Structure 1
Amino acid sequence: MDKRYRLNEIYNIGTIIVNKKVEVKAHGKVILIGEHSVVYGYNALALPIQALNISTTVEETAGPTWMDTNHYHGAFFVAPDEYDGIKYIVKTMLAKVADAPDVKITYSGEIPIERGLGSSAVVALGTTKALSQFLNLNLDHDEIMEITNHAEMINHGKASGLDAATVSSDYLVFFNKQDGPQQLSQKLGATLLIMDTGELGNTKVAVQAVKKQMDESDLKKKQIARLGELATATQENWLKQNAEEIGKIFNEAQSILASFDLSTEKIDNICKIANDNGALGTKLSGGGLGGIVIALCPNQATAQKIAQKSQANFDNYWIEEI
């Protein structure tokens, strides 16, 4: 067994090592149910999306430590504040070895940012894994996830760990903070239409807004708890392959999220069009204030029909069989 095959087997990811050059690919995700409530310890369900991915490449450079992305090309540690989570990872990893080399880190492929598709978690996970291999640190899964999740806390102010757990999984993830992630390999037998409104969401602002409302209202606390109950009900109905009931759950969850002022006109328009044209249920996914909408459909034909009728309200869409 050669070294390259061994590394692929250990990490279960695409990994290439050529002359001290490491490449790691990680995929995105969508939250099906439980956004915001998961931050407070309730249940959530999230789905990995293999079609959306980013590759992280690490190689030695003459210096300074450098970063190349689709949006920034320059010295790593003077990058804008939006890269603070990644800066934390690189500083932490380089500090683990004596006389650490300067490195060039390149991110290729793209997941739309600030849409709830897990872009920051994907980059954090990919960076941690790639540097672990490049520096021969051989960090185990728990160590990698600890660093990734800390970077997510920097990125979002308060992170549940759901995004990191899902972008590192090949299966549906049922998650709460107490028990951690549980993978569900069973299929629902339905089609998920994912639509990107093109509006930038802001997870940190959304989380802060929800917390403020909860601090001021017992009703809002009860609504967040209800989102957690709906996530548990989604898991139960998923195992029964009851897509119709999950659709009803999606619609109730959307009403709750909208009551926190997390929806937008585009999101509302998409939800109405989708539900009027055969969707079993439709809701925003992620922090809200923009981002993406997911419509649970009985089949691909219905998903395509909804996408056609909703196209004035989104920039891009994807269809996943689930």
Structure 2
Amino acid sequence: MPDNETGIQLLIKTILIELQQETAPFNIKVQSDIPSERGMGSSAATAIAITRALFHFFEQPLSHSELLRLADVSEQYIHGNPSGLDAATVSAKAPIWFVRGRRLQTVPIAQNGFLVIADTGILGQTGLAVKHVKNQLASSPDAETAIEMLGENAKFARKCLTTGDFKTLGDLMNSSQSFLAKLGVSHPTLDLFAQLANANGALGAKLTGGGMGGCLIALTQDIATAQKVATILTKNGAVKTWIEPLKSTDHKGVQDGNSSCTH
């Protein structure tokens, strides 16, 4: 495997050892439409898919907690000390509320909308962003305030999703983008994309992932606006855009540690 897949290689070896299948013959072909190093959870999605595939191939049961434990093998190698958010998100069947060290909760969405995802083409720099924020916290009281406000915005955003208040949700996204820019983890291209999205009908827009590159997400009320925003962002440098429905959901989907996973 190529050097940038060493974490996945370690995951496969770990699974084969645990299943006592070190000498079993098989081929794995990974084909992903999720761009890597863009804050989109590409490595976690690959780890979850491979883990499920191998357990299915060897006809072995796989609990949700075991799935996350194994996916963390490659995530630890790739990211050093990941929160577990990416793996938890891509393995869930519904939107989740994630707090490190606490039980996952589902977040029902009360209204339909659309998310426009725009890839800047600039590699995200999570490690650099984390280091930068750490330095900011040590030298500026404004940085601590910004982080506290980002946390409050997240809590209000959860409520907006459950009540269907997408107008306020968009405002919260814009507010969060402003705080992220003040923390120095945005990027001129992300700032431009956010401005263009809002100027063309988006309810709000913000970066996603670690920052300093990667992708922007913009919230729209309808598909026509989403398509307009995607077109504008493409014309202004987005290397790729996706439009994903933000559908109303119920509480079903997050499995406990004893349930089996299917995909």
Band of TM-score, shorter chain? 0.7 to 0.9
Query: Is the aligned partner of 1:84 residue 2:6?
Result: yes
TM-superposed CA distance for 1:164, in Å, is: 0.6
Which runs of at least 4 in structure 1 moved beyond 6 Å after TM superposition? none
Work out which of the residue numbers 22, 30, 37 in structure 2 matches 1:100.
22
Structure 1 letter corresponding to 2:225? T
- The 5 Å alignment of 1:1-322 reads 76=1, 79-80=2-3, 82-98=4-20, 100-101=22-23, 102-311=25-234, 312-322=236-246
Q: Is the 8 A contact 2:96 2:107 kept in 1?
A: yes
- Evaluate the alpha carbon distance shift between residue 86 and residue 216 of structure 1 in structure 2; reply closer, same or farther with a 3 A threshold: farther
Residue segments in structure 1 that go unaligned for 5+ positions in a row: 1-75
Q: TM-score, normalised by structure 1?
A: 0.70
Report which structure shows greater RCO (CA 8 Å, sep ≥6): 2
TM-score normalised to the size of structure 2? 0.85
Bigger strand fraction: 1
Contact 2:108 2:162 in 1 (8 A): no
| AA in 2 matched with 1:233 | F
Deviation at 1:256, TM superposition (A): 1.1
- CA separation in 2, counterparts of 1:146 and 1:291? 27
SS in structure 2 of the partner of residue 114 of structure 1: coil
Asked if the contact 1:277–1:302 (Cα under 8 Å) also holds between the matched residues in 2, the reply is: yes
Shift in alpha-carbon separation, 1:304–1:161, aligned structure 2, 3 A: same
Contact (CA 8 Å) 1:197, 1:266: kept in 2 or not? yes
Return the alpha-carbon distance in structure 1 between the equivalents of residues 170 and 228 of structure 2.
17
Question: Which structure 2 residue ranges, 5 or more long, are not aligned?
Answer: 247-263
- Give 3-state SS (helix, strand or coil) of 1:133's partner: helix
Tell me the SS of whatever aligns to 2:207: strand
CA RMSD of aligned residues (A): 1.9
Amino acid at match of 1:161: G
Distance of 2:239 and 2:31 partners within structure 1: 21
Tell me what 1:62 maps to: none
What's the CA shift for 1:254? Answer: 0.2
Q: Distance in 1 between matches of 2:60 and 2:131?
A: 36
Q: C-alpha displacement at 1:87, in angstroms?
A: 2.3
Identity %: 37
Report the Cα offset of residue 293 of structure 1: 0.8
The count of corresponding residues between Structure 1 and Structure 2 is: 244
State the 1:136 CA deviation. Answer: 4.1
Pair 1:153–1:100, CA change in 2 (3 A)? closer
* Inter-CA distance 201–239: structure 2 relative to 1 (3 Å threshold): same
SS of aligned partner of 2:104: strand
SS for the counterpart of 1:142 is helix
1:99 CA drift (Å): 5.9
Describe the superposition over 1:83-142 as per-residue Cα deviations: whole angstroms up to 9, x where unpaired. Answer: 232122122112224462254321023311111121100111112222223344423211
In terms of fraction of residues, the more helix-rich structure is 2
